[in-house]
Homo-oligomer: A and B are copies of this chain.
Amino acid sequence: MKMWDGRFAKPSDRLMEEFNNSLPIDQRLAHEDIAGSIAWANALARIGVLSGDERDAIVTGLEKIRQRLAEGTIHFQPNDEDIHMAVERLLTEEIGTPAAKLHTGRSRNDQVATDFRLFVKNALTDLSGHVINLQRVLLARAESDAEIIVPGYTHLQQAQPVSLAHYWLSFFFLLGRELRRCENAIRTADLMPLGSGAVAGCGFQVDRQALATELGFAAVSDNSMDGVGARDFVLEALAAIASLGITLSRYAEDLIIWSSREFQFVELDDAWSTGSSMMPQKKNPDSLELIRGKSGRFLGNYTRFATTLKGVGLTYYKDLQEDKEPLLDSVHQMQMVLQVFSAVVQTLTVNCSSIEQRLDPFLLATDLADYLVRKNVPFRAAHKVIGRIVAYCIEKKVALNKMSVKDLQSFDAAFGEDVLAVFDWKTALAGRDVPGGTGPTSVARQIETARAQLAANR
């Protein structure tokens, strides 16, 4: 028997029960559901719909169910349609009649929207903590890797030398914006629909503001149709996680490439690598590959629910039941992804000698052009001159920093003896102390900024 089947002549088909049943998913909202129901019992009692005794019985019963859930002694049943009906059934078994009064003035429509908003708030707050932890790890690396010079790449071609700290900090600051998106999504979710009823608003004058306070919501929804029908908060949470996933996939890609024998810039710790069933020599950066690969999952979960929501009229349709699974999956997977990425970065070894061997003197070509600019050659002309020198070096197989001053002068008379000072990695970095640059002062400043941001987020 269903709670709602008064007008029905026939029970649901068995397959329909399985198809319609959201319990395997929404039981993960049990905690939020019970919290919402306790608050609701209090609200009904406050306006006399429940007597004090009834309220107490309900609250005690719900707390007992919460405890049994924690103990794992609850068994759901096949026709427990969803977590709301399951909790109501359990409560009825626990306390009898008063349970039949709990759903007064409430609908599963406002109930589930409330439960889910509570869940999203908590889940994204938890994820934010993991993002901050990754930032902490990156900052620590930046602090310890400040002296290591690596090629900065564009198009995977060596471009200009940068400090390795500078690279880790780029990741740190991008994560700061990801964090802000999580916070925005939390703010969007932080709106209580409870009291909206099925669609038209609760038929009893409950104190919604008091409900919101008890449940920790910042505000109550302004309109009941919006309260039960809107799912923009789910989309925003999914988009925040998808964006984070894309960002992580980019840095994972770099580190996978850097782990190749050909680059050999970093080596992952054995604890975060795996081997091959066939090839005994293999050590693979599986952790990073999974992080990269799961970005598709996060994006897919977003696309999935966005498509589900598209064109679904107001207010509640059963289509909306498909909102939870993608979000729960994205949250759970992102929790792991962030922890794994933190551990990988924390434990990886930087192979300084290998990096050094791979620094190509052409990395200094721009500095050479800038040298000419300082000798009053217009930049565009300087660029051409250096381009020709590069072509010459390639053809003659001469390293750029092995060109003599005379060689260089044959390309442009503006070269002087002082040009040789350009061929030094540290000089190159020191010349980029503009705010945001890879120079040592700039990097130190970035580390200060990063520390301050972490402190503010604590």
* 16 pairs from A and B in contact (CB 8 Å cutoff): A19-B290, A103-B383, A104-B379, A154-B228, A154-B315, A155-B282, A157-B259, A159-B276, A169-B225, A174-B226, A235-B243, A251-B313, A277-B383, A290-B318, A296-B303, A311-B311
Given A6-B391, A198-B160, A224-B436, residue A155 in contact with residue B286 (CB < 8 A): yes
Copies in the complex: 4
Which of A25-33, A66-74, A178-186 faces chain B? A178-186
Given that A204-B370, A300-B326, A385-B6 are contacting pairs, would A312 and B293 also be in contact in the complex, using a CB cutoff of 8 Å?
yes
| A200: contacting residue among B161, B242, B256, B295, CB under 8 A | B161
Task: List, in ascending order, chain B residues with CB within 8 A of A340's CB.
Answer: 15-16, 19
Q: A6-B387, A230-B174 given as contacts; is B204 within 8 A of A362 (CB)?
A: no
> Does B15 contact A277, Cβ atoms closer than 8 Å?
no
User: Do A296 and B292 form a contact, CB below 8 Å, given A313-B153, A315-B152, A366-B278?
Assistant: no
Across the A-B interface, give the 3 residue pairs with the lowest CB-CB distance, nearest first.
A6-B387, A201-B437, A300-B304
Let me know if A170 and B202 touch, CB within 8 A. Answer: no
Proximity string of chain A (48-59) to chain B, C-beta cutoff 8 Å, 1 when within and 0 when not: 010000000000
Stretch at the interface among A125-133, A261-269, A413-421: A261-269
Q: Determine whether A339 belongs to the interface, using a CB cutoff of 8 Å to chain B.
A: yes
Q: In residues 355-389 of chain A, which contact B (Cβ within 8 Å)? A: 358, 360, 362-363, 365-370, 373, 378-381, 383-389
Contacts of A318 in B (CB 8 A): 155, 274, 284, 286, 289-290, 293
Identify which of B196, B206, B279, B387 contacts A159 (C-beta below 8 A): B279
Which B residue sits closest to A193, measured CB to CB? B436
In Å, the complex CA distance between A339 and B446 comes to 44
* Interchain CA distance A449-B226 in the complex, whole Å: 15
A322 an interface residue at 8 Å Cβ cutoff? Answer: yes
CB A203 to nearest CB in B, in angstroms, measures: 5
